[in-house]
Amino acid sequence: MPDVGRVRRRVVALVPAAAKERLRRALGRAPAPSPHAELVVRHEGGRIVYTGELHEPLRAVALVVRPASRLGQVCLRLEQAPDRRFGFTLDPVALWEAGGRAAGRFDLFIEVERSGGKRSEVRLGRFVRTDTSAAMSFLEIEGAASPFGEQVHAWSHVTDQGNVSVRYAAEPIRRFEVEGTRLDVGPGGIAADLVLKTFSRPARDIRLSLQWRFSGTTQEIPVRVEPLDATAGFGLHEYRIGFDIMPPAVDDAEREGIIDPHLIMELDGFELPVRVPFAEKSFARFRLRDLPVPTTGGGHVDQWVPYLTFRAKRLAFWSERFTVENHRYLRRIERWAWLLAPLRPFSGIWLVGEVPYKAQDNGFALFRWIRRHHPDRRAYYVIDADSPDREKVEPFGHVVTARSRDHIRYTALASRFVGSHHAEYLHASRSPRLARHARGLRVFLQHGVTGMKNVRLNYGRLHMQEMPPDRVVVNSAAERQIFIEDLDFFPSQVAVTGFARYDSLFEGEPQVRRRLLVMPTWRDWLTSRESVLSSTYLANWLEFLNDPQIQGLQRDGVEILMVMHPNLRALVDDLPLEGISIAPRDADVQELIRTSAALVTDYSSVAWDAAFLRRPVFFFRFDDAVLTGARTPFVDAATALPGPIAHRAADLAREVAGSAASGFVMADEYAGRAATYLELPPTGYAERNYEMVRTADGLSTRLLRLRNARPVRDAFKRFRAGPHYYRVMSLMFRFGSLLPRRDIAVFESDRGGAYGGSPRALFERLHERGTSLDLWYVNNSTLRVPPGAHKVFRLTPRYFWTLSRARYWVFNQNVHDLCRRPRGTHYLQTWHGTPLKRMQNDVPVMHGRADDYHQKAQELVERWSSLVSPSEYATQAFRSAFGFTGPIIESGYPGNDVFHTEVGRRRARETRLRLGLPEDRTVVLYAPTFRDDGRAAGAKGAWSHDMALDLGRFAERLGSDVTLLVRLHPLVKFTWPKDLDASIVNVSKYPDTQDLLLVADALITDYSSIMFDYAQRQRPIISYVYDLEHYRDDLRGFYVDLEEIAPGPVVRTSDEVIDAIASLPDVEARYAGRLAAFRDRFGSLEDGHASDRVIDAVFTETERGTAPTP
């Protein structure tokens, strides 16, 4: 008999995702049959009153309140005599106390009695009629605060499924969702039909807003709004919205730019209006065409070209201004440009430039060289008619005015688009109707060295919104590797020719003035004058510029010259800068760098230009966590930037003043770092660029262009996200497994999410010893591996192919399910810690896991060839937990070698620098493990996390002297507040836990194996076990008695933790003996040479390398 479930899954897999989504929406709107008739929730006298009625034959007996993260626990139970009608009054203060004074959600259940006296619990919700209109306000809880110090209120809340809860938080959940049937943009205007869901909070005053991103100009347009009956929708609020409008004429004074459309509404419980974007995924039909909008003067047309933002895929418009005549000409060219296609290969037209308003970068430098050395070349520079740089370009001729007739015609005819930004900036219009005819070769000259910012979404070949370039110019092999490994370009696409403007950068011997150049880059979230004036961005820069040490430099004759970013200058032109000069708008930045003695910046790529000239560079990184947290830069700030880093204005001023006192001389260490990113002689840059552009076309280029085409990229993305991807990867892996082994060793930490632990230690040690193996590290970040080694992203085709051919796998977690160890491959499992909590076979019931967890886990264990153990104790636990019968290498953990070597001291300095930790502050690491019952059995996704440590209280008592690093387990998901105290630092995404242990003066943990690693540092360890009995008796259990062997104090409350940290010297002295005994029992093999012992045990003599042991 066929497997019906398997057949059903295959049929479902064939249904297009869009069709499945529409079906899901249709089914989701229909209320499920409910035994509940009516529910009314209201706030009265500081209480929450629930009244209602059940259908026959149910009788309400009690209201039961449970924490959403611990549904097995009952916080409150309110009883009544069995009756169809019910009425319960809940005291939010009593619930706050019963719930342990913890912020979060509490779910409500109603205990019902059925005929025959049988009782059961059902969620309070999904009534036929639900009225929550009198429960919108918050209820005050005196003295209540979250772990982050926020004032907490009680809110009545309706979940997305229509169930009633109570939330303790500073504000209600701001959540909305758009379900649209159509959004149509075209010559007739903008039209849409949609349903806006605001869930448990009602909305009012909904209107359409069009906002010009750079000027801040806003047009608000009324729309049709029909509120749906919330009482019939489980208390969830929905609004049917429709509009079909033509935008009003645009003011002639408005410049070109980007326009963001939103719905704006006032949402109950929030002071500021809420913006609702138009995302592609929210509409069943999403049609985008050009929208011409007249200007107020009548002589121009603003063509709005709709597009989807590169990150969130939300609707926005490029606004392009044409004269009426040129816009008509554009329309004709778009219609008949296909006739010009045969002429393109013979036209010889190159469109060269940057962005249309300037001529200061590589585009202009290359154009100038071409006009001087190859005047017959049909190269044209694209620039605005009113650009202040136009007078620099005019003397060379071949100037094309942006949006002119020549520009429109040349866009269709050009065989090359050569620019310092996306080629679309060189097009007469971004309209797809013209872009489909702009088929010339695309060359990306860049406008700065790539490294200090993560531009994967902006310039990654598979991620950028625009058509990818066919060639990219870089300055070094290191930068080339970034484009290949992190931005997904093919090696043949990346040319190491250097920047064309470097001919003038290194030209002659400039007269260097005693001048400090200050060049802060921009922050995208600063969109108005008010946001700038109130920002920490401006406050930090003003603090530096007004520092007494900087003012002292001015008195000593050092000129302070600030180059304002164009966006900052547009918003704020009256900064309070006494004695500070502001560079004019049209200043030649490169010439300023050449003639200045030093540079201060934050993330601007101009730092490399100054460093290449051996000018001292100082980096001001006061907002590292905000700007780079989600998108880690491609180069490591602590080890690769060509200058010192400061996180505080006073520290930066001290560095600058010290350098000025010694004559602004660049240290050799920083000069060496700069040299890594410029490997070319100081002449011939523009010529090399020209030859590369001239000879770039060919068959291989055309084939790569097919792979870069948007339909091909989109098709691969769909394939990558679809159900067939892993089937194909499995077939490819099996084929590779049948081929002979290659001398490759693949290393992976925490499923590609980290660069640390024992895999890192073995990887780096093999590289140091000069192994004959080809080393690959699996990592999904911007990690830079040592020269000669390689990086691969996890679960990519290259990942599966490399694993299928490798001779060695070195992992600290299990390999992906489909990767069965090939014959001839040695799979070394290093694991990731000494076990305290019971694991795998030693835990009969694994909460939060599927029923077949033990079976699947054992199958993965059977693939191991050998296992690393740090001690005899761990060996016994591993044998018991994993049922592993193969060889165990009892050597100590290679990852802990760093605690016993000079490398560790260097890495500690670098880690402090990355995290901005001053030497005079005490650093404490809080690293709790996850709780298995934080996720429902068999569920997928992350485990929930309760922040049991009161971080607000910690910061209040110790924040002036102590920095608390908080590292959550990789398996948990937790929402961090935006206004976290500066003394609390979230390091959950930091790639190597060992680095954090190296800088920590004390460790707070619970049942995590991290305590065994940290014991090597012989520093205080506080065991914060607020749920010891539950974890020990109900969830996991331990291999040893924690209270008996704990190397430090065992505490139950936040106050006890804070007291212990406040008296660290006493704790260290009192528990020194226990810590020593703990270290001797569980880590006696750790001596700094575990990596060598493992390498000698696993790899052959030639593979080990010959470098001497340190």
HSE (side-chain half, CA atoms, 13 Å) at 906: 5
Q: In the numeric block, which tokens belong to residue 1028?
A: 């010891």
Range name among 36-45, 112-121, 167-176, 971-980 with the lowest pLDDT average: 971-980
d(CA 915, CA 921): 12
* Alpha-carbon gap, residue 127 to 131, rounded angstroms: 9
Q: How much is the pLDDT for 31?
A: 43
Residue 274 is predicted with a pLDDT of 94
Bigger pLDDT: 535 vs 548: 548
Where do we find the tokens 């005490």?
Answer: 922
Residue positions counted in the chain: 1110
Contact indicator for 783, 989 with CB cutoff of 8 Å: no
DSSP 715: H
Q: Which residue has the higher pLDDT, 30 or 151?
A: 151
Give residue 570's pLDDT: 65
Banded model confidence at residue 30, pLDDT cuts 50, 70, 90: very low
pLDDT band at 629 (very low <50, low <70, confident <90, very high): low
Reading the block at residue 113, the tokens are 């009695």
3-state SS class at 739: coil
Q: In sequence order, which residues have a C-beta less than 8 Å from that of residue 339 and are 6 or more positions away?
A: none
272-281, 434-443, 530-539, 1072-1081: the lowest-pLDDT one: 530-539
Give the DSSP letter of residue 714. H
Q: What integer pLDDT is reported at residue 663 of this predicted model? A: 95
What's the rounded Cα separation, in Å, for the pair 404 and 394? 16
CA angle 746, 747, 749 (to 5 degrees): 150
* Whether the predicted pLDDT of 1110 surpasses 80: no
- What is the model's pLDDT at position 566? 73
User: Which pLDDT score, from 0 to 100, does residue 1018 have?
Assistant: 96
Residue pointed to by tokens 């071409």: 370
> Dihedral (C-alpha) 473, 477, 478, 480: value to the nearest 10 degrees?
40
Contact 96, 144 (CB under 8 A): yes
Summarised one tens digit per residue, pLDDT across range 287-302 is 999 999 999 999 999 9
Residue type for position 117: G
Q: CA 516 to CA 552: how far, in whole Å?
A: 13
Element (H, E) at 554: helix 548-555
Residue 599: enclosing H or E segment and its boundaries? strand 596-601
In this prediction the pTM is 0.86
> What's the confidence (pLDDT) of residue 829?
98
CB atoms within 10 A of CB 695: 8
**pLDDT value, residue 16:** 56
Amino acid 20: pLDDT:
55
Is residue 44 predicted with pLDDT exceeding 60? yes
Q: List, for residues 765-819, the tens digit of each pLDDT value.
A: 999 999 999 999 999 888 888 888 999 999 999 999 999 999 999 999 999 999 9
Identify the band that residue 12 occupies on the pLDDT scale cut at 50, 70 and 90.
low
Sequence-distant (≥ 6) Cβ neighbours of residue 906 within 8 angstroms:
none
Is the model's pLDDT at 304 over the cut of 50? yes
Place of tokens 């004429």: 249
* Cα-based distances in Å from 819 to 277, 349, 730, 736, 856: 41, 51, 8, 11, 13
For residue 882, the surrounding DSSP H or E stretch is helix 872-882
* Residue-wise pLDDT tens digits, 856-901: 999 999 999 999 999 999 999 999 999 999 999 999 999 999 999 9
Closest CA to 183 of 313, 349, 3, 95: 313
CB 612 within 8 A of CB 623: no
Q: What is the pLDDT of residues 570-586, one digit of tens each?
A: 666 666 677 788 888 77
CA 889, 892, 895, 898 dihedral sign is negative
With 60 as the cut, is the pLDDT of residue 26 above it? no
Residue 647 is given by DSSP the state: S
Mean pLDDT of 673-696: 95
Beta bridge partners of 519: 601
Query: Above 90 in pLDDT, residue 938?
Result: no
Of 140-154, 391-405, 709-723, give the range with the top mean pLDDT: 391-405
Dist. CA 573–CA 908, nearest whole Å: 42
Assess whether pLDDT exceeds 60 at residue 27: no
pLDDT surpasses 60 at 486: yes
Instruction: Tell which residue, 895, 826, 902, has the closest CA to residue 865.
Output: 826
Which pLDDT score, from 0 to 100, does residue 71 have?
A: 79
Q: Report the relative pairing of strands 36-44 and 1002-1005 from DSSP bridges.
A: unpaired
For the segment 704-722, the average pLDDT, to the nearest whole number, is: 88
Cβ atoms 913, 906 nearer than 8 A: no
- Taking the alpha carbons of 979, 983, 987, 990 in that order, is the dihedral positive or negative? positive
Question: Rounded to the nearest 5 degrees, what angle is found at the Cα of 303, between the Cα atoms of 301 and 306?
Answer: 160
> Cα dist. 786→636, 760, 766, 789 in Å?
12, 12, 11, 6
* Predicted pLDDT of residue 34: 52
Neighbouring residues of 503: CB distance < 8 A, sequence distance ≥ 6: 365, 369, 683, 684, 685, 686
Predicted pLDDT at 571: 63
* 773/751 Cα distance (integer angstroms): 22
Kind plus residue range of the DSSP H or E element containing 985: strand 984-986
- State whether residue 213 is helix, strand or coil: coil
For residues 82-87, average pLDDT: 94
Determine contact, residues 303/433, Cβ cutoff 8 Å.
no
Please tell me the predicted confidence (pLDDT) of residue 598.
98
Tokens matching residue 266: 């006032």
Using pLDDT thresholds of 50, 70 and 90, give the confidence band for residue 9: very low
Rounded Cα gap, residues 531 and 527, in angstroms: 7
Dihedrals φ, ψ of 304, to 5°? -95, 115
Q: Give me the pLDDT at residue 573, please.
A: 62
Contacts with 273 (C-beta within 8 Å, 6 or more apart), sequence order: 264, 265, 266, 267
pLDDT tens sequence across 344-364: 888 999 999 999 999 999 999
Which amino acid makes up residue 126?
R
Query: Pick the residue with more confidence: 72 or 422?
Result: 422
Task: Tell me what pLDDT residue 973 has.
Answer: 85
Per-residue model confidence (pLDDT) at position 1106? 78
Question: Mean pLDDT score of the chain, rounded to an integer?
Answer: 91
pLDDT of 209 > 90? The answer is yes
pLDDT at 580 (0 to 100): 81
Instruction: Answer left, alpha or beta for residue 787, where phi above 0 means left and psi between -120 and 50 means alpha.
Output: beta
Of 623-627, 738-742, 855-859, which has the strongest mean pLDDT?
738-742
**What domains lie within the chain, and their CATH numbers?**
1-30 (no CATH), 32-169 (2.60.40), 177-322 (2.60.40), 348-502 (3.40.50.11820), 514-681 (3.40.50.12580), 727-895 (3.40.50.11820), 918-1087 (3.40.50.12580)
Token pair of 1015, please?
């014991």
- pLDDT at 533 (0 to 100): 78
Cis peptide before 57 (omega within 30 of 0): yes
> What is the model's pLDDT at position 633?
87
Average confidence (pLDDT) over 627-651: 84
Q: Which two tokens stand for residue 543?
A: 């603090």
If pLDDT is split at 50, 70 and 90, which confidence band does 1 have?
very low
CA 245 to chain centroid: 36
How far is it, in rounded angstroms, from Cα 448 to Cα 608?
Answer: 8
| 403 CA to centre of own chain | 37
Per-residue pLDDT tens over the stretch 126-135: 999 999 999 9
What is the pLDDT, as a whole number, of residue 582? 86
| Residue 940: HSE in the Cβ half-sphere, 13 Å Cα cutoff | 0
Three-class secondary structure of residue 608 per DSSP: helix
From the list 1057, 1059, 1092, the residue with the least C-alpha distance to 949 is 1057
pLDDT at 932 over 50: yes
pLDDT at 638 over 70: yes
State the pLDDT confidence band at 937, using cuts at 50, 70 and 90.
low
**CA–CA distance, 667 with 655 (Å, rounded to integer):** 12
Half-sphere exposure of 240 (CA within 13 A, CB side): 5
Lowest mean pLDDT among 503-517, 820-834, 943-957: 943-957
Q: Hey, what amino acid is at 974?
A: F
Q: Is the pLDDT of residue 820 over 50?
A: yes
